[in-house]
């Protein structure tokens, strides 16, 4: 898991003042990747490495305009493979922001994380967590599986299958052929099982749609019949 920093942690670890960090942000040389639900700016390890390069240029006497020209012409040295690729404008979401996007409570997101169904892309020493935007889609898939009748334990197993697939996709050559074949077959069986459950769910939806359409027509007919009743008849019944 990648590390994230608050502004104080970022400046302290980098050995710069918060004023310099604020100047970098003003000049759009560094940007927070997101903010905590309390509004605290958060920075990624990728940005920290970028900050190290900016600091070296700053110490060599380059001004902001010169640094921008250098970045535009030759760019900054590539970050280490550990921190991966990131666009300066790429942003991440907090627990609260994901919860709001998928219409669940922050506590639900935290519970899914505790169960290992989802996991933050970055975490700070202070406990702040940031998620890539893809987790909004995944969180909606989790809600779908709950509608299909899956328990959280079953959903955890599905999420584990996804991790196995991603591992095989990225590192197939590191797995023995027989082991990879076995895992791939297990994934296919899991997918077929999900298809079977979805078919049952579709059949159930179809039954309810037919029932509700029928009852809606009957209710409308009954309303029309009720509206045509003589007013005097209803008065006599009072």
Q: Return the higher-pLDDT residue of 106 and 68.
A: 106
Q: How many helices (H) and strands (E) does the chain have?
A: 10, 5
Tokens of 238: 């009072």
What is the CATH code for 2-73?
A: 1.10.1660.10
Cα 94 from chain centroid (whole Å): 9
Tokens of 68: 């921008």
- What's the pLDDT tens digit per position in 56-86? 888 888 888 888 888 877 777 655 544 445 5
Residue 161 contacts by C-beta under 8 Å, 6 or more apart in sequence?
A: 186, 187, 190
Tokens of 59: 């110490």
- What's the pLDDT tens digit per position in 125-154? 667 788 888 899 999 999 998 988 889 999
Residue 94 contacts by C-beta under 8 Å, 6 or more apart in sequence?
A: 34, 35, 36, 37, 128, 129, 130, 131
Tell me the whole-structure pTM to 2 decimals. 0.60
Domains of the chain, residue spans: 2-73, 148-229
Cβ-in-10-Å burial (0-12, 13-18, 19+) of 47 comes to buried
106/99 Cα distance (integer angstroms): 5
**Band of residue 182 on the pLDDT scale cut at 50, 70, 90:** very high
The number of C-alpha atoms within 13 Å of 62 and in the hemisphere containing its C-beta is 16
- At 184, give phi and psi (nearest 5°): -65, -40
Q: Give the lowest-confidence range in 25-34, 108-117, 119-128, 173-182.
A: 119-128
Query: What mean pLDDT do residues 101-128 have?
Result: 87
Q: Where do the DSSP E strands lie in the chain?
A: 2-6, 34-35, 41-44, 122-123, 129-130
pLDDT higher than threshold 60 for residue 233 = no
User: What whole-number percentage of the chain has pLDDT above 90?
Assistant: 38
Bridge partners (DSSP) of residue 4 are 44
């Amino acid at each position: 898991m990648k590390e994230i920093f608050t502004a104080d942690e970022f400046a302290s670890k980098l050995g710069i003042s918060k004023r310099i960090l604020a100047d970098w942000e003003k000049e759009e040389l560094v940007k927070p990747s997101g903010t905590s639900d309390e509004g605290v700016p958060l920075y990624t390890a990728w940005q920290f490495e970028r900050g190290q390069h900016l600091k070296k240029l700053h110490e060599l006497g380059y001004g902001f305009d010169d640094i921008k020209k250098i970045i535009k012409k030759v760019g900054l040295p590539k970050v280490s493979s550990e921190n991966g690729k990131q666009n300066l404008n790429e942003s991440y979401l907090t627990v609260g922001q994901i919860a709001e996007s998928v219409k669940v409570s922050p506590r639900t997101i935290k519970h899914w994380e505790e169960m290992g169904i989802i996991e933050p892309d970055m975490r700070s020493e202070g406990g702040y967590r940031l998620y890539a935007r893809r987790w909004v889609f995944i969180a909606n898939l989790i809600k779908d599986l709950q509608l299909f009748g899956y328990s959280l334990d079953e959903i955890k197993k599905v999420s584990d299958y996804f991790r196995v697939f991603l591992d095989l996709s990225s590192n197939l050559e590191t797995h023995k052929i027989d082991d990879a074949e076995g895992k791939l077959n297990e994934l296919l069986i899991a997918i077929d099982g999900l298809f079977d459950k979805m078919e049952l769910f579709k059949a159930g939806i179809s039954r309810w749609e037919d029932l509700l359409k029928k009852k809606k027509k009957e209710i409308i007919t009954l309303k029309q019949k009720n509206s045509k009743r003589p007013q005097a008849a209803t008065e006599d019944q009072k």
